[in-house]
Amino acid sequence: GSAGLLITLFLLSILWFLIWRTDRKRSQLPPGPAPWPILGNLWQKDVLPLYRTYEKLCRTYGPIFTIWLGLKPVVVLCGYEVVKDALLGHSEEFGGRPEIPLVVQLSKDYGFISNNEKKWRELRRFTLSTLRDFGMGKNSMSQRVQKEAQHLVELLTKLEGNAFEAITMFRHAVANVICSVVFGSRYSYSDTVFLELLNVIGNYTSLFLSPIAMAGILAVYNTFPNIMNHLPGPHRKALAECEKLKDYIRQKVEIHKLTLDPSCPRDYIDCFLMKAEKEKSSPENMYSNEDLVMSVFNLFGAGTVTTSNSLLFFLLILAKYPHIQAKVQEEIDAVVGTGRAPSMEDKLKMPYTNAVIHELQRFHKTRVENFPRMTTQDVVFRGHTIPKETTVIPVFSSVHMDPTHWENPKEVYPGHFLDEKGEFRKREAFMAFSAGKRMCPGEALARMELFLFLTTLLQNFTFQLAVKYEEMDL
């Protein structure tokens, strides 16, 4: 009776307070769909993948709008002009990285994706400097990629034209490049332990990076982390898979400690261990063993998955549009021939191939979700007040589909990157590697890998779809 009535009144009071607080916050933020109490707009995302939901909301509310994940507002930015203004024109204000609960659970705030701004800057600087020392962006790195591309060609030749499942092979090839820098060695395509690790990477990225996961389990976890930590589900499996990879890295680190020669560092791990020794007395030591493990994890995962997925997507598109594939092969034959492998020096002489790679990246990035940013201070942006520490999502798919900057945004059209003379031209609305202070640190390596792997494969093979053209949904 009376106890039940009191509980009901108490719950209604809490609900009323949450609605009042949300409405108060909404009045201070850009417009957007009305959130449900407690749940926000989480279950109002009625279109998958997310970029289509954002497109729909952009048409209704304009290029700057707010959605709610539970009780947290998220400001979404759409279109080239708005995204450019935020990330380049207001790079400091939009340069933060919000705390993503699932990432925190995975990383424990170690490594160079740490939410600690000082640690992030320091480890990012160290990592980029070390990768450059080991050839990133230089001829020695291109030779590593060329060598691995030849291993991949040899493997595909043995298939004698039969259909094959490509992603594991591509993932292995790309992983070997980063492994040669991080671990100091590459791995055979028949190495069962390494194949299992690649499978682990595939399993956890299917949760972290797929559009359905972004809108489903990942969004739910990041909205209600304390509840989800105690519930079964794919998030628990993905985190367990990540631990397997981290355990493997820990083993590698221990072996490196036993064999380290400070006068002759072999790889990234050696350099990190040497830096850790120098910094061990520092009160703000950012070079702990777990920082090393997570930094290698970040390099290994990000440096493998995104590039191998892009390479697979490129070849699927080229198989679907054989006239584009044939024209790239004609340019390879004319510039490189058959007596040697393609090199980075050939790139400037291959405007059509360069244009195709950029166009395929643009087209691919219209289907890939983004990692969010965070405001580092209160900011008045294009007439809207966005409070400090607000999560912000720049929708790069909207940049790459912006009809005011692309002639045929929904089509695969290499002409986007060619001038009237057939020479390659840059496009300011191309942001495949993000923009501003949080740009992808592996851009130089990724560009090199995509060019060398793709041209080497097309020099040796013509790719066809294993299913009918009409059945291929990209």
Residues 6+ away with beta carbon under 8 Å from 391: 69, 72, 73, 74, 75, 98, 372, 373, 374
Integer angstrom CA distances of residue 215 from 212, 230, 235, 280: 5, 20, 13, 42
The b/e string for 172-185 (b: 16+ C-beta within 10 A; e otherwise) is: bbbbbbbbbbbbbe
DSSP 424: B
Stated as kind and residue range, the H or E segment containing 92 is: none
264 is in an annotated binding site: no
CB 144 within 8 A of CB 177: yes
Give residues with Cβ within 8 angstroms of 39, minimum separation 6: 70
Which DSSP helix (H) or strand (E) runs through 196? helix 192-208
**Quick check: bond before 35 cis, omega within 30?**
no
Among candidates 274, 243, 244, which has minimal Cα distance to 257?
A: 274
Residue of 336, 362, 469 lying closest to 415 (CA atoms):
362
Mode of pairing for the β-strands spanning 72-77 and 391-394: parallel
- Residue 281 CB neighbour total at 10 angstroms: 7
Selection from 116, 21, 115 nearest residue 73 by Cα: 21
Q: Tell me the β-bridge partners of 36.
A: 40
Check: CB of residue 75 under 8 Å from CB of residue 393: yes
Cα–Cα distance between 243 and 240 in angstroms, integer? 5
Give the Cα-Cα-Cα angle 376, 382, 388 (nearest 5 degrees): 20
Sorted by sequence, the CB contacts under 8 Å of residue 402 that are 6+ apart come out as 79, 80, 409, 429
Q: Rounded to the nearest 5 degrees, what angle is found at the Cα of 447, between the Cα atoms of 472 and 393?
A: 70
Q: How many CB atoms lie within 10 A of CB 10?
A: 10
DSSP string, 320-349: HSHHHHHHHHHHHHHHT-SSS---GGGGGG
Half-sphere exposure of residue 423: CA atoms within 13 angstroms, side-chain side: 3
Please enumerate, by residue number, every residue annotated as part of a binding site: 440
Please enumerate, by residue number, every residue annotated as part of a binding site for heme: 440
